[in-house]
Amino acid sequence: MEHLTKHQIVLVAILVAFVTSITTGIVTVSLLDQSTPTVPQVINRVVERTIEKVVPNTQSAAVVTKETIVVRSEDLAIAAINKNSGSIVRIYSVAYGTSSTTPDNFLGLGVFVTKGGKIMTDKETVLSQGNYVALVSGGKYYPIQLQKTYDEGFAFFNIVSSNTFVPVTLSKNPLKLGQSVLSLGGKTVMNVAMGIVSEIVGNDNSTTTDKISSAIKTDIDNRSSLVGSPLINLSGEVVGLKITKLNPSDETSSFYLPSAVVANLLTDSANK
Instruction: Determine phi and psi for 47, rounding to 5 degrees.
Output: -65, -45
Closest CA to 121 of 226, 239, 235: 226
Q: Is residue 84 a contact partner of residue 184, using CB atoms and an 8 Å limit?
A: yes
Counting residues of the chain whose pLDDT is more than 90, the rounded percentage is 37
CA distance 111 to 156: 10
φ/ψ of residue 60, rounded to 5: -85, 135
Whole-angstrom distance, CA of residue 184 vs CA of residue 201: 21
The whole-angstrom separation of Cα 193 and Cα 215 is 18
pLDDT of residue 67: 60
pLDDT 10s digits, 60-77: 555 555 566 666 888 999
The 10s digit of each residue's pLDDT in 47-63 is 444 444 444 555 555 55
Q: Are strands 215-221 and 253-258 parallel, antiparallel or unpaired?
A: antiparallel
d(CA 155, CA 109): 11
Does pLDDT of 102 surpass 90? no
> Looking at residue 119, what is its pLDDT?
94
Helix (H) or strand (E) holding 192: strand 191-201
Query: What pLDDT digit, counting tens, does each position of 113-172 carry?
Result: 999 999 999 998 998 788 999 999 989 999 999 998 888 888 999 999 899 999 999 987
Of the segments 25-29, 133-137, 242-246, which one has the largest average pLDDT value?
133-137
Q: What is the pLDDT of residue 269?
A: 54
Q: How far is CA 212 from CA 172, 177, 209, in A?
A: 11, 15, 6
Does the pTM surpass 0.85? The reply is: no
Give percent of the chain with pLDDT exceeding 70. Answer: 74
